[in-house]
Amino acid sequence: MSGPCCPQCAQPCVSPRLLPCLHSLCEPCLRRLGPPEGPSGAARPVLCPVCDAEVSLPAGGVGQLPPDCLAGSRAGAAAGCDLCADGAAAGRCLTCGVRLCRFCCRAHRRQKKTASHAVTELENTNDCSQAGKPLLCHSHPTEELRLFCEQCDQLVCQDCVLGRHRQHPCDFTGNVIHKHGVALRELLRSTQQHMDTLEDVLSRVDDMGGAVRSRAEAVAAEICEFARGYMKAIEEHRDRLLKQLEDLKVQKENLLHLQKAQLQQLLLDMRTGVEFTEHLLMSGSDGDILITKALVSSRLTKLNSTAYSTHPSVDDRIQFSPHERAGQCCGYEVFGAILNKVVDPARCTLHGEDLHSAHQNQLSGFTLLCKDSTGERMRRGGEAVWVTITHKDKRDCAAKPTVCDNGDGTYCISYSPEEPGLYAVCVCVKGQHVQGSPFTLLVKHKFREHQGVFHCCTFCSSGGQKAVRCACGGTMPGGYQGCGHGHKGHPGCHHWSCCGQVKESSECLCGPPSDTSQRSLLRTVAL
């Protein structure tokens, strides 16, 4: 029977050799697979045709690879006779090491040269497959590999021990097989544990793959459901926008029809009056004119005084803003709105305490409120707002403004002027000045903090020193009379001791104190 096939050539293996990846190939295929051996004899990498692993051939070439003695047993093939190659092996010569069929066993015992050889019977095919030929030395082909070199970790023959392995620790295979078998079994057990772990991981990977697919299908269903709902919401929003547009068009057309009818009626009345008056003046007698003068004058005067607009009552300002938030529709937020209101720069107003005055190096600002042509406040942002703040007396001196769009029709303009003086402020929307622009801004010097104390009287805040004087110039007639801290003091309310200002958050009116001035205030200020 034929032996195992080579995975490279798919033919029965001839001298199968074992690669470092533990895959077996026949020796001719390995020689064709590997590149020619270099002069240096270095290890050469090749790709295993079974697992695509890159393995290195030994320096001695393919012949130095260990033979795969168990290739037949792994393939489950019964070993054949080594002499006739026709029958299955039934015995083995212990002297020659060859496998023999039953016919060759009898012939082996009868031949004079081999009559003294010991031939044993093989009980089954497993024994047959495991009882291979003795391993012969590659360097000494007639010698069997019966010894093991511990230093080189390889099988050697007796001639090798006497040669290049002379000084190496060597022993018979039967003596070292237990030690190396135990170590190999330990590695096998560790590898099997890794195999169990890998199989568990692979199982979990497969389970996770199934979970991912199931989750992806569920999310895909959610996406489809969301898309259907969203498309329905968009379609309803579209229909709603088209209805709003139709209603707006009808409203504008009705207003234009009404204005047209009124103007046509007024024009007809005027044409009637003009034709009658012209005919009267051209064809009527003096008496006729004088008789009807009052009536005609009254009619023409009334017609001339009738008020009418010289412009269409509505405009064509209908815009669609695709980015405008339009609220909720079927539970989805939708965008896109019809804009009938358009900002009118002439009606936009400015507001804020810092509109006309500010302090040097102090952040100030005001608010721009945008309105439409009817004066109604705009409820959306996005307008082009342009602001400049330039010094009137100093060239190349300007405050850099910052415009913040609040998104509700208001815009916060903030600035921090570095120089005091008068500034010209221009605020434009869509390139046109807003109401009140341009205007003048007064920038004062840096805000002066108070140097005194905010008190009811100097006597109380100085700890009872009657000689201490207050900048307000007030005194307490008759001196201190035990009024306590509850009295109103002078001038009837609390005030700053440094300048007399009665507002606690006010700016100090006096300059910074010198070393020789207001010495009597030092105690008060300290307290």
pLDDT values of the chain reduced to their tens digit, one per residue, 527 residues? 455 778 888 777 777 888 888 888 888 888 877 655 544 555 567 788 888 888 877 777 777 787 776 665 555 455 677 777 677 778 878 777 677 888 888 888 888 888 888 888 775 444 444 445 677 887 888 888 889 999 988 889 999 999 888 889 999 988 888 888 888 888 888 988 999 999 999 999 999 999 999 999 999 999 999 999 999 999 999 999 999 899 889 988 998 999 999 999 999 999 999 999 999 999 989 999 999 999 999 999 999 988 888 888 777 878 888 888 888 888 999 999 887 777 888 889 999 888 888 888 888 999 999 998 778 888 888 888 999 999 988 888 888 999 999 988 999 999 999 888 999 999 999 888 999 989 999 988 876 777 777 776 666 666 556 556 565 555 554 444 444 444 445 555 677 777 777 777 777 777 654 444 443 333 333 33
Cβ-contact 321, 298 below 8 angstroms = no
Give residue 72's Cα distance to chain centre: 60
- The closest of 374, 321, 366, 312 to 343, measured between CA atoms, is 374
507 within domain boundaries: no
524 falls within a domain:
no
One domain for residues 467 and 398:
no
Q: Is residue 135 part of a domain?
A: no
Q: Is 459 helix (H, G, I), strand (E, B) or coil?
A: helix
Question: What is the per-residue pLDDT for 453?
Answer: 76
Query: What are residue 320's DSSP bridge partners?
Result: 338
CA distances from 379 to 169, 337, 391, 410, 411 (A): 98, 12, 33, 8, 12
Domain end, chosen from 305, 326, 350, is at 305
Residue 309 tokens read as 């607009």
CA separation for the pair 149, 152 (Å, rounded): 5
Q: Could you list the residue range(s) of the whole structural domain that residue 214 is in?
A: 175-305
Q: How many domains, in total, are found in the chain?
A: 5
Report d(CA 232, CA 211) in Å as an integer: 31
**Residue 467 belongs to some domain of the structure:** yes
Residue 222 in any domain: the answer is yes
Residues 409 and 432 in one domain: yes
**Domain assignment present for 324:** no
Prediction pTM value: 0.43
End-to-end distance of the chain based on CA atoms, in angstroms?
119
Q: Which three-class secondary structure state does DSSP give residue 366?
A: strand
Determine the Cα angle at 291 with ends 287 and 295, to 5°.
150
Nearest C-alpha neighbor of 341 from the set 378, 369, 384, 382: 378
Residue 190: Cβ-neighbour burial (10 angstroms; 0-12, 13-18, 19+) = exposed
**What is the C-alpha to C-alpha distance for residues 389 and 391, in angstroms, rounded to an integer?**
7
503 to each of 91, 455, 456, 494, how far by Cα in Å? 125, 11, 12, 8
Residues 208 and 273 in one domain: yes
Considering the domain architecture, whether residues 350 and 434 belong to the same structural domain is answered as yes
**Same-domain status, 299 and 186:** yes
- Domain shared by 222 and 190, yes or no: yes
The pLDDT of residue 89 is 79
In a domain, 408, yes or no: yes
| Percentages of the chain per state (helix, strand, coil), in multiples of 5 | 35, 20, 45
Same domain, 193 and 293: yes
Looking at the fold, whether 456 and 358 belong to one and the same domain comes out as: no
Question: Which of the listed residues 444, 463, 491 is the one where a domain comes to its end?
Answer: 444
For residue 151, is it within any domain? no
368 with 247, same domain: the answer is no
Judgement on whether residues 257 and 283 belong to the same structural domain of the protein: yes
Q: Does residue 285 sit in the same domain as residue 367?
A: no
Final residue belonging to a domain, choices 403, 427, 444: 444
Q: Do both 434 and 497 map to the same domain?
A: no
SS3 392: coil
